[in-house]
Amino acid sequence: MILAPEVTAFYEARTGSVQYVVADPATRQCAIIDPVLDYDEKSAATATIQADLILNFVTDRGYRVAWILDTHPHADHFSAADYLKRRTGAPTAIGEKVTEVQKLWAGYYNRPDFPTDGSQWDRLFAADEVFQLGDIPVRVMFSPGHTLASVTYVIGDAAFVHDTLFMPDSGTARADFPGGSAPALWRSIQEILALPPETRLFTGHDYRAGGREARWESSVAEQRATNIHISKYLTEAEFVAAREARDRTLPMPKLILHALQVNTNAGRLPEAEGNGRRYLKIPLDLFATVWD
């Protein structure tokens, strides 16, 4: 019998991000997936509003945090993994391919001394590795394409597919970030859609297509039948051509250069300098842009 975890979503409207608390109802152990550290790019202010909402919820529900999980190093928001680790003592984890992302971005930021061995996390998962959330087994699927390091966590009857699949009316994730690949994204999507049709799929973002209310849960069957990309582009060649054409029209996320130096460091902010302030480093003219 496939167990069903309790899944609670926390929608962060400023970046369209969806954070999750996933709990084993029998043991009350939970995992926090893709938590957001609040950041305002205009003032460079950080805050823990979202993370504290999650902590309060965990306390109210009587859960114990067993894991803090990243699906990949995010390009559009800061990760609150480090803050939540310090508050809960729970280990942090991500897929082991994060080291490839670290090496790539250490070069972009000209940080030759930055550790690129993934040691910022407590655990690096291998493909198809299985671990426990209470009594529920969790399988780690590698799902590259959107990024080199993207993983899907299959927890009982639920799969957390990060930015690989969006809600059916929004299609699929872009694959033009450094290390991204539309062919790899196609293969990752096919692996996700090979899960049982009733599998609950939880996406990492929702941009409220057409102004509707935010949504984040679908199923394998629903995605197969109605996803505006998957149901239309039925071969890898068709999908890759459409995905790459679409990506060429998209501007870079406004926080990508801010976020990757934090998120390749497991959500740790830069160390304070001699004057007590922290500083981000932004490489200029790194990307060609679509002006918006």
Determine, yes or no, domain membership for 28: yes
Q: Is 252 part of any domain?
A: yes
Provide the whole-model pTM. Answer: 0.96
Q: Please give the pLDDT value at position 198.
A: 97
Q: Which residue is listed with tokens 């899944």?
A: 7
What is the pLDDT averaged over residues 120-130? 98
Residue 44 lies in a domain: yes
- 52: its two tokens: 């504290």
Q: At 21, which CATH number?
A: 3.60.15.10
Alpha-carbon distances, residue 291 vs 129, 174, 230 (angstroms): 42, 17, 28
Token output for 103: 């090496």
Kindly give, in sequence order, each residue whose CB lies less than 8 Å from that of residue 86, ignoring residues fewer than 6 positions away: none
Tokens of 251: 């501007």
Q: What is the mean pLDDT of residues 88-98?
A: 98
- Mean pLDDT, range 193-203, rounded to an integer: 98
Determine the pLDDT at residue 288.
77
Of the pLDDT bands very low, low, confident and very high (cuts 50, 70, 90), residue 2 is confident
What's the CA dihedral at 223, 224, 228, 234 to 10 degrees?
Answer: 150
- Burial class from Cβ neighbours inside 10 Å (0-12, 13-18, 19+) for residue 222 reads middle
How many domains is the chain partitioned into structurally?
Answer: 1
Q: Which domain holds residue 48?
A: 6-263
Residue 290 has pLDDT above 80, yes or no: no
Indicate whether 279 belongs to any domain: no
Q: Classify residue 152: in a domain, yes or no.
A: yes
